[in-house]
Homo-oligomer: A and B are copies of this chain.
Amino acid sequence: MEILKQRIREDGIVLEGNILKVDSFLNHQIDIHLLDDIGEEFYRLFNGEHITKILTVESSGISVACAVARIFKVPVLFAKKGNVKTLNEYTFREQSYSFTKKESYYMNVSKKYLGPEDTVLIIDDFLANGMAIDALLGIIDQSGAGLAGVGIVIEKEFQKGGKKLRESGIRLESLARIVSMKNGDIQFS
């Protein structure tokens, strides 16, 4: 998605530890026009898959998931992190790990909102090591729902998450695939 890559080139900031800051337009401040374009692009890619639900994880996946769900006209479901009191019963739960925050956490989805009747599109802002997506896949697996695929805004292709997903036969569509960020110079595949 050229308009996205251009925006990453212009406004993305590379920090130590392979962190890409896109908080001027994606995960702190949010450019609503770009978000709509992203939603339309995912619709173009996954339309025809009879998707019934968009699954993401709080927080920065929510805005993208909503933009996609608007066009598919289906609900968003976002996994909640931590020990969520109001979700303590009847919950699909998987453990995940954040390399940015260096901590493990639980992801929770109520059993009421996901089941064998669903076909799910997973949406997230970033894919690096793929720990968050693994946990979401575990939740879908527990629920018996079908998986249409995984839609990612920015994939760090030099980390292992994308390769692992593609090798497992899962349909993965990433709108911008970064192969290198060496010396702050962002290269796309």
Would you give the 0/1 interface string for A70-99, flagging 1 where the beta carbon is closer than 8 Å to chain B? 100111111010000111000000000000
Would you give the 0/1 interface string for A105-128, flagging 1 where the beta carbon is closer than 8 Å to chain B? 000011011000000000000000
Q: How many residues of A contact B (CB 8 A)?
A: 38
| A59-B62, A62-B62 given; A30·B76 CB < 8 A | yes
Q: Does B100 contact A85, Cβ atoms closer than 8 Å?
A: yes
Q: Does B30 contact A80, Cβ atoms closer than 8 Å?
A: no
Q: Does A78 contact B66, Cβ atoms closer than 8 Å?
A: no
- Chain A interface secondary structure, helix, strand, loop or mixed? mixed
Would you give the 0/1 interface string for A1-24, flagging 1 where the beta carbon is closer than 8 Å to chain B? 000000000000001000101011
- Chain B nearest CB, measured from A10 CB (Å): 15
Q: Does B86 contact A19, Cβ atoms closer than 8 Å?
A: yes
Q: Does B110 contact A70, Cβ atoms closer than 8 Å?
A: no
| A62-B63, A63-B62, A76-B63 given; A28·B69 CB < 8 A | no
Question: A22-65: which have CB < 8 Å to B?
Answer: 23-24, 28-33, 35-36, 58-60, 62-63
Most buried by B among A15, A30, A85, A112: A30
Q: Does B66 contact A32, Cβ atoms closer than 8 Å?
A: yes
Can you pick out 21 interface pairs between chain A and chain B where the beta carbons lie within 8 Å of each other? A19-B86, A21-B86, A28-B109, A28-B113, A29-B76, A29-B77, A29-B113, A30-B69, A30-B76, A30-B77, A31-B75, A32-B70, A32-B74, A32-B75, A35-B66, A58-B60, A59-B78, A59-B80, A63-B66, A66-B67, A85-B101
